[in-house]
Structure 1
């Protein structure tokens, strides 16, 4: 669902609820428990955000799982009073039924990030605001714990706010993880130790409402299988079991500690049923297989494809695989920074007029709204096979989002922090590509698993390559992971500051190092930029 579709559906929900768009949000205030798990986890993150946003017309809003507002931090009295007049007060229930479409209530409804700007608000009094909202999902239970939102006047937004709210929400999720019960922590530790030994074979860990599963297990098991595994006790160390697909498996059970859940190692017996092959498993395709299939299918049928994901997840690699041996005409959103927009756009239009060569647009998220609109029009009119890549959809402007939607197929690449279970297998594959006989020790793998990998697969590949060069044979231990240690030795940055630093680095790169141009693109003064650069350890 596109952003515009999500907002249209949210408006429809508000209409069905009988909400009058001319009224301000209804008030349904109740006391806030200051010692709640969410507030305890969020407090240090919100404190840091508030210190950064002091003096700006930005309001930080935190809602709990019931979409009740439990914390508000305003940068100025004007924004505090303005949001307060529109129902944003502590303890108020801010559901869509009472507040319409916005980046608190609608994010709570969708369980997905959303930007709502000005006129997209359902209630007329709220159209003077824009807001960025991000869901807070518990890393273990995968339950919605709350919503983090930044609200500001329409004219007061800047490029730093979007990554700030996203990374702050992740930081709160990390704090929630640290607060998790000891039995769940113990299960995670046992699961990670066994996963290193299993080398990608199906593995599941269950402790109460916490379920851990690697990619091999998620490709194999249906929801009913997890429920069935949850009823098995560790009275025996090995037991046979029939999955809902009909596959027969051996389960090797390991209890993390008394009362702390069970780790299930799944080994094949044989499949049953008319479609089963003797001795082979009945399973769904893994994530990597599904990605490869989507690329192969788009290539075989010359379907236009958009590849979306964070930097370093393999967007450019996917485009190269798609158009291998097809001699594509290559465009990059970065190119527009070094030539007039009109010239860049004319080159694109000319290329699209020649259907014999495919057209590839990398880094489409760097295009201005005007160029994105013109490019979308050109793509709609062409019969040329094309493909493009961009940042995740929820981070895109409406015009670039529409450009991404012009393709027939969308391929979404997950960030590495959401698929850490793949790291051991990825490391093995990278060492094979490097023709390195070295191997990572369990301690080194645990260090890799503990890292959040903001640079995704590219950062992991750089770390593995550097370690393999230092240790050409034998064991690669955690002391060999020099790049990670160098990063840790720099300024100690939380998730919010990490996001701000990355955004500033990108702005400086786009401006060719011009501090004034970078500051203007970020909506801050040059003095503020210099101060932030000094704080984040960026070279002047």
Structure 2
């Protein structure tokens, strides 16, 4: 007992010398504590007056809280005879919960703000059993004078990091605090053991999703004779039929489309054409565990296969596909050969659907995330199938300010009689007045069978919510005969090389500018939450750094390198897409986006950083 008291006296003396002179003899001070004192001084912490800062945006319903609750409850019950407090924090040292076995210790901890909502990061309150644990990445036992702040001297605390067993990332800290005179080195062992138990719960929580996906896969496979696949997170499964019917490349295409269907609105059912020419139907069932989608189980049926090539043609040299540019009657080119040079399945589908609609003269509604290139795609495809036509784009903000008729009259005064595609951009932002004017205009066009076409773009629609809110544009939907969804750029990664080439050609003009292989790798790994608009901004930045020549990876903006440092699992990609969608609907307002997602702002901020999402204006 005397040795413990002597040790604390020596540490107190070493601390006093450190605060006075900036350095001290630290042979009696544990290495992590001495290093923490130095960091505290460097961070500007005042040992006499600094205090914890309060935060209200805590994630109190997440996995960490859920997996920690039974461990903390058991620990509180087992330690009921000892006056202590059990504290759980998030990865930023913000206190999520506090359970005490004695009212007195609770009152004393309230006085030093060791309470839910307060931030005990080392940079704010100096050396302590929470922030220093996060800084050092190891469990620690901090007693009395080892604390940096004066008002924490009466306490002892043992803290241990809580790591996600799969990612290895620190999710938070478990801390046991009490008065120094009631402390025991056994607290250190106790808190480490409890933290490991929480980590096991985190592992079980993740395993439950994989187990649920596996069980769903087994059930579907047992009653299906065809090809069955299961996709979720890092798990991909397929039965023997799937392995025999589809090549590895075809399986990869099906897997990627299944990941898209897993997070897309509506039922996960679709028909797609594979690179081999096979047309398959995918019928999926999402597997849900609690509030999360664990994955999707799909049944894949072959609807048609390409006709065999006649033997007489096998010796002929390969023919390159010819693009038809000679317009048919009315200025419309044959539609079968004007598809854009796209590689992705979703990109080909969008282009093909637009070609079909424009060729048929159908009023077209184009949906997709902001910045996804909807207007550019419409204009390009129209220019290909109607080479003699023109495109006129009307922006919603301009229409709302000036009115439809004034802008339309100005356009018609030119007397240009060429076939015209009228594109109404940000259709969902029209005012009631303009919506009424546009309704009358469309009625007249339909009655007179006017030449040309009508298309409108809508960003991230939530049709049910918009109909319930009676937004002006919903009164015009009956004028449109078909709709097309342009998938976000992150689901069209195969198209990136072509898109980058096109964007760079427009931005660089006559300058000889290209993209190096290293830069393209960075571009391909970034999720581009702002879609093509953000890609344009990134290439503009790179061109300012390197006006001519091959753009290098270091020329790209920092956020391109700071995105998700790994390929995201399907579950993570789905979560990222939900967040991007919520941000678009909230016009970039993080608070409203967090509320719509049902998570705390702190959780949203963490996910934005983890997924490399940069909020951009829509």
Shorter-chain TM-score bucket reads: 0.3 to 0.5
Higher relative contact order (CA 8 A, sep 6+): 1
**TM-score normalised by L of structure 1:** 0.41
**TM-score normalised by L of structure 2:** 0.36
Q: Answer with 1 or 2: which has the greater Rg.
A: 2
